Amino acid sequence: MGNFVKPDKKLWTGRISDRQLYLHEKVEFVDLNESNLEHPQKTFAIIGYACDEGVKRNHGRTGAFEGPDAIRKQLGKMPNHLDTGTRFLDIGTIQCSDGNMEATQDLVTEKVHQLLNSSAFPILLGGGHDIAYGHYNGIRKHLGSGKSLGIINFDAHFDLRNNSKGNNSGTPFFQIAEDCKEDGSAFKYLCLGVRKDANDAELFVTAEALDVTYMPSEKFSMSYPKIVVRELLDFIAQVDHIYVTIDLDGFSSAYAPGVSAPSPMGFCTQIVLESLELIIKSQKMVSFDIAEMNPKYDIDDQTAKLAASLVHFTITSLNGQ
């Protein structure tokens, strides 16, 4: 079953300023079972998802279990641009150490729900992309049935594989679609950066059957900014709230070698930052995660630094609203 581990202060190091100029000086370490997170200003809460069981089941390269801590190490070194009153918390890590991914996802759901109920903004660090199933359910549980929730996934893969033979890192959005069908809610899913060399023909058929909106990798680039903006604005207008998930294997391996399924044909960093900025400006983004960080295959911490920079950009931009 899922195991919740308290935050490790030793992971957060960097330059010393004594004026909270760096995030390792800003971060607070909080036990959700003991502390009340209610706060008059913004609160960002980091949770790790140390699980690569889904990657293993999906026949990918394991190693993502160590992903959350690798990101933390790079994030702590980065400059702090958050307001004095804004809280930046490390809540700890949810670990899957016995192969029971489903119980681990249930714990993710519980913790995300708890954070959102406390008016904190969750930042989840993975771990395999199976993180998305538990994360989405936590948001859905918080919002209830009265509000629509859209998923924006930056990814080379649809992750819409049928789960008839079990759940894995390639099935989370299919699982969500099935749950939506069962409870009668709308399945709103936008996938940006889809590659034909990373998805078989049946996955495109599934995406069409589920009315998934997607943008192929050749269009999801700075060469087509107007098309990207129009696609995003159209999708954002259809939903009340947005859950954003970034699979690091969607990036070209020139930017992100440390992932479970690398490819040189992925997207660039700038188009993701431009898209994130647009989503954040909508004020509909309620939660965020990064998936598939695999330190085992990283080069000079390049992928961990990319993931940390994406978190830094997101919290800094949200703090400015």
Q: Where are the domains of the chain?
A: 2-319
* 26 touches 16 (CB < 8 A): no
Report which residue type is found at 61. R
The beta-strand segments (E) located in the chain are 2-5, 28-29, 43-50, 87-96, 121-126, 149-154, 188-194, 213-216, 241-247, 285-291
Superfamily of domain 2-319: Ureohydrolase domain (3.40.800.10)
46 pLDDT more than 80: yes
C-alpha distances (whole Å) from 25 to each of 28, 79, 125, 227 are: 8, 10, 20, 41
Query: Mean pLDDT, to the nearest integer, of 14-37?
Result: 89
The owner of tokens 């990064």 is: 290
pLDDT at residue number 32: 78
pLDDT at residue number 37: 75
pLDDT at residue number 35: 67
1 pLDDT more than 60: no
pTM of the full predicted structure?
A: 0.97
The beta-strand segments (E) located in 211-312 are 213-216, 241-247, 285-291
In percent, the amount of the chain with pLDDT more than 70 equals: 98
